[in-house]
Amino acid sequence: MMTKEQYIESLRKLNLKVYFMGELIENPVDHPMIRPSMNSVAMTYELAEKDEYKDLMTATSNLTGKSVNRFCHLHQSAEDLVNKVKMQRLLGQKTAACFQRCVGMDAFNAIFSTTYEMDKQLGTEYHKRFTDYMKFVQDNDLTVDGAMTDPKGDRSLSPSKQEDPDLYLHITKVREDGIVVRGAKAHQTGAVNSHEHLIMPTVALKEDDKDYAVSFAVPSDAEGVIMIYGRQSCDTRKLEKDADMDLGNAQFGGHEALVIFEDVFVPNERVFMCKEYEFAGMMVERFAGYHRQSYGGCKVGVGDVLIGAAALAADYNGVPKANHIKDKLIEMMHLNETLYACGIACSAEGEKMPAGNYQINLLLANVCKQNITRFPYEIARLAEDIAGGIMVTMPSEQDLHSKDVGHYVRKYLKGAKNVATENRMRVLRLIENITLGTAAVGYRTESMHGAGSPQAQRIMIARQGDLESKKKMAKEIARVDESQNQ
């Protein structure tokens, strides 16, 4: 496994093509806008080196028998699934941000089981290819960007009916030695901090859309791969001189990117689906299930930090004993632990797949994510309520340190006695960061749209909820005699 330092140096060796605000970034690793998000990924390597976290952060590979980072692991038991959620909560607590390796881990497990069933039915060799790829990933402890979401264009039209065929990533040419693809993947978490991109279809497909049924892996610096870094609220604060307090979280962050595939060649050994459209829906559904489980860990960990910050804000405002403050903090904890309970439940109910790895309970995973689309918004609202309006109106850290007006800031933003004004401001900025600023991409807004929109989960809940069996139970208890029906 790599150390934190080895991970950082490995990124320096990549020849990435990354654009931000219209300009090519020469050195993404040390760019002030990107570095905090890279620090979050680095934490997944750092904790794996610590003895107290090894049970959560590492696992024994079923492919090689070696110890691997859990983010590169194929789940071998329900306990593995539970430990995944616990690991994600831990990392959320350590970074208060998105640590970006979850999407790749979830893609590994979805593609592993899907390719196994593809080969069994079709006689293809995708599973062997993917198993070899997984050994490569594990042996090198790579960070892999799992990429599913296409731009989609006109949502009322299927991929093949779009005016511009590139609005869904697709195969443009099948060669004897591989395939050529064109298109893009949007909202790609941690793309710039990843060694590889692992691609999946984004929707279930029909025969007319078979060119869009494609799964493959390419290095992040492959010819034709271009990344356009996504904007975040308050992001340019990171570019300010000596930026610190106003960032809220100066150490860690997350990022998303639009990843372009401009006629990218993929050799056969890295192709895991090539026009087998009938299996696209299976891969999408399984990945979505794993990733919806993930939110029961990562968002809960960030929620822990936000609850702690809200409690500190109450202390620093001088109102920790107010009954309504206590009640709001209790509600925040109740909602956060409910999310965690869903993540643990869908994991504990996991089952072994024909390929040998374990899959979560899909119904409970979708229930988990449906709650994630709601509860973090209420947790954030309560944190903002406790913090007070000063969270978004207070002067800058430059004003705090100004020779001319700094004494006014320290005097008039003073809260509880024996609490430094700067410490009060730091906690308020942290709340602002998680609820409204750059961390919102990894907490508030991502809770709504990450791993699929709320309606996507409701569709799956309707499909997996088995309403007919519930009707049958009711009929038996009520002793309904359907022969009497007209």
| Residue-wise pLDDT tens digits, 388-431 | 999 999 999 999 999 999 999 999 999 999 999 999 999 999 99
> Is-catalytic flag, 207?
no
Q: Does any domain span residue 408?
A: yes
Active-site residue, from 149, 197, 277, 298: 298
Q: What is the mean pLDDT of residues 219-228?
A: 98
Q: Yes or no: say if 224 and 254 are a contact pair by the CB < 8 Å rule.
A: no
Torsion (CA) 377, 378, 383, 385 in degrees, nearest 10 = 120
Q: Does any domain span residue 209?
A: no
Active-site residue, from 196, 256, 285, 397: 256
Q: Does any domain span residue 423?
A: yes
DSSP state of 210: G
Active-site residue, from 102, 342, 346, 368: 102
Q: Yes or no: say if 63 and 74 are a contact pair by the CB < 8 Å rule.
A: yes
Task: For residue 400, give the CATH number of its domain.
Answer: 1.20.140.10
Q: In the chain, what percentage of residues exceed pLDDT 70?
A: 100
pTM passes above 0.95? yes
Helix/strand/coil for 447: helix
Domain count across the chain:
1
Active-site residue, from 189, 373, 435, 438: 189
Q: Does any domain span residue 189?
A: no
Active-site residue, from 168, 290, 295, 340: 295
> Is-catalytic flag, 334?
no
> Is-catalytic flag, 378?
no
> Is-catalytic flag, 446?
yes
Q: Does any domain span residue 213?
A: no
> Is-catalytic flag, 98?
yes
pLDDT at 441 over 90: no
Question: What CA–CA distance (Å, rounded) separates 360 from 95?
Answer: 26
> Is-catalytic flag, 295?
yes
Cβ neighbors of 198 (< 8 A, separation 6 or more) are 104, 107, 108, 111, 144, 145, 146, 147, 215, 216, 217
Active-site residue, from 127, 195, 291, 443: 291
Q: In the chain, what percentage of residues exceed pLDDT 90?
A: 98
pLDDT at 154 over 80: yes
Active-site residue, from 75, 95, 98, 212: 98
Q: Does any domain span residue 208?
A: no
Q: Which residues of 364-387 are buried (b: 16+ CB within 10 A; e: fewer)?
A: bbbbbbbbbbebbbebbebbbebb
**Domain encompassing residue 304:** 283-471
Q: Does any domain span residue 142?
A: no
Q: Does any domain span residue 376?
A: yes
Residue 439: which pLDDT band, with cuts at 50, 70 and 90?
A: confident
pLDDT at 112 over 80: yes
Q: Yes or no: say if 273 and 240 are a contact pair by the CB < 8 Å rule.
A: no
